[in-house]
Amino acid sequence: CRFCFRKSQLNDQADDEEDLYTGSLEPAFQYLQAHSEIREIILTGGDPLSVTNEALKRILERLNQISHLKTVRIHSRMAVTLPSRFTPELVSILAEDWNFQVTLVSHFNHPKEITPRAQSTLRSLKKAGLTLLNQSVLLKGVNDTPECLATLFQGLYESGIIPYYLHHPDWTPGTFHFRSSIEKGKQIFTQVKGLISGPALPK
The set of residues, in sequence order, having a beta carbon less than 8 Å from that of 177 and lying 6+ positions away, is 140, 141
Half-sphere exposure (CA, 13 Å, Cβ side) for 63? 27
| Residue 9 pLDDT | 61
pLDDT at 17 over 70: no
Strands (E) across the chain are located at 40-43, 71-75, 101-106, 131-137, 162-167
| Residue 170 pLDDT | 80
pLDDT at 12 over 80: no
- Asked which of 70-74, 94-98, 107-111, 167-171 is least confident by mean pLDDT, the reply is 167-171
| Residue 20 pLDDT | 53
| Residue 176 pLDDT | 86
What tens digit of pLDDT does each residue of 131-161 get? 999 999 999 999 999 999 999 999 999 999 9
pTM exceeds 0.85: yes
pLDDT at 90 over 60: yes
- Asked which of 33-37, 43-47, 177-181 is least confident by mean pLDDT, the reply is 43-47
Cis peptide upstream of residue 23 (ω within 30 degrees of 0): no
- Asked which of 9-23, 81-95, 173-187 is least confident by mean pLDDT, the reply is 9-23
What tens digit of pLDDT does each residue of 97-133 get? 999 999 999 999 999 999 999 999 999 999 999 999 9
* CA 37/CA 100 separation, integer angstroms: 15
Averaged pLDDT score across all residues of the chain: 91
pLDDT at 93 over 70: yes
| Residue 175 pLDDT | 83
The amino acid occupying position 200 is A
What does the pLDDT average to over 84-89?
97
